[in-house]
């Protein structure tokens, strides 16, 4: 009996120490990093309860295990066996049934918390998200422009209508807590209500190929006033870009080209566009060609036609663009000198 009392006290102490230890390591109370959405509230609430449960269950097993190792260890020169205890049906039923109730309680809390994260605001702003290797683009249909930064007004629910151009990606802003895959051939929804003004990043969470780790774009939560200013700027930029070059530049954002092709000469997944028009392209098979209109058109529509030295063509999907769109892009490329 004395053993049980000591172990009982030690379990309580150990549970508390484990919980506060995890808290000191920044792992209890809430998930991390900082919470920046309404959906995070109920998720963080549940996490704290889970950490409490984990701490006490850890103590419940770990303490009697270590206690037995110390107290019931075989001492020097000792022979013989331990007590002949084969089992105890009451005890077995207890530790089958009690955890069953605990599990049901946690599952219920999980369902409740999931319901909270799914709460729909009919006034939610709709933004279209396009994911592709290895960048994100955001289209604001109400205002008619496309951006590589996602700006969201604070305390206003948005629903992202997400599509993928190639493989599966996953939209994750750690501060928002919620994550949703983007699957080719369908539209998936991501519903979020940002609550904290700040600069974050969307990070692709589903392995999507060679440069998966780089698939990060800025996410900015603005005050309503800043958001309105940003929208107005973007609209003005879009309106000013009525020239072919301007249209071409917008298209390279819309189709995600700039995820792999830099305009400043730096090497990304694909060749940089700086000074590309009219330059001589060297291919892996030793041949070469001049990057003229025909070559660029072919490279967009059939990327596999040539393997540029030092790059893998299979990473680029074929794009079916209209002649006008391609002409605009070529006009834009000519400006990159």
Which positions from 288 through 307 interact with another protein, judged by CB under 8 A?
none
Residue 85 binds another protein, judged by CB under 8 A? yes
Structure tokens at 194: 């940002």
Give the whole-angstrom CA distance, residue 102 versus residue 94: 12
Binds another protein (CB under 8 A): choice among 12, 100, 120, 305: 100
Cα(276)–Cα(190) distance, rounded to whole angstroms?
38
Q: Does 161 bind another protein (CB under 8 A)?
A: no
Q: Binding to another protein by residue 24, rule CB under 8 A?
A: no
The per-residue DSSP string of 82-116 comes to -------HHHHHHHHHHHHHHHHHHHHHHHHHHHH
C-alpha neighbours within 13 Å on the C-beta side of residue 227: 20
Task: Restricting to residues 112-151, name those near another protein by CB under 8 A.
Answer: 113-114, 116-118
| Listed ranges 93-101, 143-151, 152-160, 327-335: which one lies at the site for another protein (CB under 8 A) | 93-101
**What's the CA gap between 159 and 126, in Å, rounded?**
5
Q: Which stretch binds another protein (CB under 8 A): 87-95, 139-147, 239-247, 329-337?
A: 87-95
CB of 74 to another protein, least distance (A): 5
CA separation, residue 97 to residues 60, 61, 63, 93 (Å): 16, 17, 22, 6
Task: Using the minimum distance from each CB to another protein, give the nearer residue, 181 or 245.
Answer: 181
Q: Token digits for 333?
A: 């490329």
58 vs 230, beta carbon nearer another protein: 58
Taking Cα atoms as reference points, which of 228, 214, 295, 224 lies closest to residue 256? Answer: 214
Whole-number Å distance between alpha carbons of 143 and 88:
70
Q: Is there a contact between 72 and 147 (Cβ–Cβ < 8 Å)?
A: no
Shortest distance (Å) from residue 120 CB to another protein: 12
Asked if 36 touches another protein (CB under 8 A), the answer is no
Cα dihedral sign, 159-44-35-31: negative
83 binds another protein (CB under 8 A): yes
Please, which residue, 174 or 256, has the CB nearer to another protein? 174
- What is the crossing angle of helices 2-24 and 38-71, to 10°? 140
Q: How far is the CB of 150 from another protein (least distance, A)?
A: 17
Pick the piece of the chain touching another protein (CB under 8 A) from 110-118, 217-225, 242-250, 274-282.
110-118
Output 50 or 335, the one with its CB closest to another protein: 50
52 to 81, contacts with another protein by CB under 8 A?
Answer: 53-54, 57-58, 61-62, 64-65, 68-69, 72-74, 78, 80-81
Do β-strands 169-172 and 135-140 pair in parallel, antiparallel, or remain unpaired?
A: unpaired
Residues 174-203 touching another protein, rule: CB under 8 A, are 174, 177-186, 188, 201, 203
- 168/274 with CB nearer another protein: 168
Q: Does 16 bind another protein (CB under 8 A)?
A: no
Contacts with another protein: how many residues (CB under 8 A)?
A: 86
């Amino acid at each position: 009996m004395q053993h049980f009392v000591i172990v009982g006290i030690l379990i309580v102490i150990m549970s508390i120490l484990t919980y506060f230890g995890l808290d000191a390591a920044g792992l209890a109370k809430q998930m991390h990093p900082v919470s920046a959405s309404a959906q995070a509230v109920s998720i963080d609430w549940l996490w704290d309860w889970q950490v409490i449960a984990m701490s006490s269950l850890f103590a419940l097993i770990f303490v009697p295990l270590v206690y037995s190792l110390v107290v019931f260890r075989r001492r020097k020169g000792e022979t013989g066996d331990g007590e002949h205890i084969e089992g105890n049906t009451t005890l077995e039923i207890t530790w089958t049934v009690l955890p069953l109730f605990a599990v049901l309680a946690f599952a219920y809390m999980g369902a409740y918390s999931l319901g909270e994260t799914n709460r729909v605001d009919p006034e939610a702003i709709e933004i279209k998200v396009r994911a592709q290797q290895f960048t994100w683009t955001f289209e604001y249909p109400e205002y008619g422009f496309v951006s590589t930064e996602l700006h969201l007004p604070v305390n206003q629910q948005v629903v992202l209508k997400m599509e993928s151009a190639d493989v599966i990606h996953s939209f994750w802003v750690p501060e928002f807590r919620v994550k949703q895959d983007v699957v080719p051939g369908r539209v998936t929804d991501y519903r979020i209500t940002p609550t904290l003004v700040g600069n974050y990043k969307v990070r692709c969470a589903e392995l999507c190929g060679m440069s998966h780790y780089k698939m990060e774009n800025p996410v900015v939560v603005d005050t309503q006033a800043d958001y309105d200013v940003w929208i107005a700027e973007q609209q003005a930029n879009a309106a000013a870009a009525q020239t072919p070059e301007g249209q071409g530049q917008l298209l390279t954002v819309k189709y995600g080209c700039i995820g792999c092709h830099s305009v400043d000469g730096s090497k990304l997944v694909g060749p940089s566009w700086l000074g590309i028009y009219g330059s001589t392209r060297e291919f892996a098979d030793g041949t070469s060609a001049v990057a003229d209109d025909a070559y660029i058109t072919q490279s967009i529509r059939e990327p596999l036609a040539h393997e540029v030295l030092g790059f893998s063509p299979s990473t680029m999907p074929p794009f079916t663009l209209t002649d006008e769109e391609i002409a605009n892009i070529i006009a834009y490329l000519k400006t990159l000198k």
